[in-house]
Amino acid sequence: MAVHFASPPYTSERAEEKVVELLHRVARYGGRLKMYTVPFTRIQTEIRDKCNEDYFTLIMRRFMMQIAQRLAQEKGAQALITGESLGQVASQTIGAIGCTDAVCAMPVFRPLIGMDKEEIIEISRRIDTFEVSIQPYEDCCTVFTPKHPRTKPVPEKVIAEQNKLDCEELINEAVANVKVRDIL
């Protein structure tokens, strides 16, 4: 299963189609997939409206992990897998990853964690995903990007900011409205 977070109108259908095309190419190696598209706009606007901007990305990623974990548990999966690479962006520092993982009860695997950008590009060229991945369509991670994201977060401060939101209600609403698509 693959989980995609969409934030219309800030992200377009073309952005989602880019993900579908990438999954078609990945499915050549792993077989059939189901793509779960999570409506994420309300969560992002609630974070923007109620939380300190510096924590936006961390709180957003914590929501992503909580939603992905909920979907995984419902489908009987035992772990999450992400494409993060240490230090590539602000949300991928050791502290940020630890802060994000703190909301998960299941293991999170990151097969690219120690690779640099060039190694990842080389693999993407080999598996024929590079040209699709560089298409200029926005994703939800680029929506409401803070000017100064926290790279060394203090977990208690992140939790205090996230507690300004009705997290359970937002997660339940997002999960209840997931769209599922078969990728063959």
pLDDT at 156 over 90: yes
All domains in the chain, ordered by first residue: 2-183 (3.40.50.620)
User: 3-state SS string over 91-133?
Assistant: HHCHHHHHHHHCCCCCCEECCCCCCCHHHHHHHHHHCCCHHHH
Chain segment 102-154, per-residue pLDDT in tens: 999 999 999 999 998 899 999 999 999 999 999 887 777 777 777 777 778 89
The per-residue pLDDT for 86 is 86
Tokens representing residue 26 in the block: 């990945």
Q: pTM for the full model?
A: 0.92
